[in-house]
C-alpha cells in the first residue's frame, strides 16, 4: 500500500511540474504559488547537499549572495515575487522580504531574505534548517512603502 501511495505522490509532482512548463499563456496556480493581490508569490525549497552536488554553479551564486550556510542549515528557501504583464512573467524586486519557517515540531525561525539574480529576474532567498520530516509552515512577509503582506504555504518534507 505504501508503494502505491508513493507512486501516486510522485505522479502528482510530475503532473504539477508539467503544468508549470505550460505556463506561457495562463497563470496556473499550484500549492507553491499564491495570489497576493497585485502580484503572485512562489516558493521553492532545495536541499543544500543536492545543490552542492548537482548544481555547483548555482550553489556558489547563492553563497555569494547569502553567505555560507550555517552548520545546521539543510535547505535553501527561494521566493519569487512576480506578476504577469503583456503575457510575460515580470519578477519584482523592490520589496523587503522575510520568511518564517515553522517545523513539524513547532520550532520557528524568521529571517530576512536576500536578493539574488537568476536568469529571468531577481529572487529572494536564505538558508534554513529543515531536517525534520513532516509538514512545515512557511510564511513569506513582504514589505513595501509601509504595507505588509503575509503569504502562507504548507510544505511537506519527506
Biggest CA pair distance of the chain: 52
What residue segments make up the domains of the chain, in order of their start? Answer: 31-157
The helix/strand/coil state of 66 is helix
Tell me what the mean pLDDT of segment 121-135 comes to: 93
Tell me what the mean pLDDT of segment 35-43 comes to: 92
Of 5-19, 28-42, 67-81, give the lowest mean pLDDT range.
Answer: 5-19
Q: What local confidence, expressed as pLDDT, does residue 31 receive?
A: 65
**Bridge partner residues of 85 (DSSP):** 88
Nearest in space to 96 (alpha carbons), one of 151, 143, 138 = 143
CA distance 109 to 66: 16
- pTM across the whole model: 0.79
- Could you tell me if 140 and 112 are in contact, meaning their C-beta atoms sit under 8 angstroms apart? no
What CATH number matches the domain at 31-157, 2.60.40.3340, 3.30.70.330, 3.40.50.300, 3.40.30.10? 2.60.40.3340
pLDDT tens digit sequence for 71-105: 999 999 999 999 988 888 889 988 999 999 999 98
Amino acid at each position: 500500500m505504501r508503494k502505491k501511495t508513493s507512486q501516486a505522490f510522485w505522479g502528482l509532482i510530475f503532473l504539477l511540474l508539467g503544468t508549470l512548463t505550460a505556463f506561457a499563456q495562463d497563470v496556473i496556480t499550484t500549492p507553491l504559488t499564491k495570489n497576493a493581490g497585485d502580484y503572485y508569490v512562489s516558493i521553492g525549497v532545495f536541499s543544500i547537499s543536492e545543490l552542492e552536488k548537482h548544481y555547483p554553479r548555482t550553489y556558489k551564486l547563492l553563497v555569494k549572495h547569502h553567505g555560507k550556510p550555517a552548520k545546521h542549515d539543510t535547505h535553501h528557501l527561494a521566493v519569487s515575487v512576480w506578476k504577469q504583464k503583456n503575457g510575460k512573467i515580470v519578477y519584482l524586486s523592490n520589496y523587503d522580504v522575510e520568511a518564517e519557517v515553522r517545523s513539524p515540531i513547532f520550532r520557528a525561525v524568521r529571517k530576512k531574505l536576500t536578493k539574488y539574480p537568476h536568469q529571468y529576474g531577481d529572487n529572494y532567498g536564505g538558508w534554513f534548517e529543515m531536517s525534520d520530516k513532516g509538514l512545515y509552515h512557511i510564511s513569506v512577509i513582504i514589505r513595501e512603502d509601509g504595507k505588509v503582506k503575509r503569504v502562507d504555504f504548507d510544505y511537506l518534507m519527506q
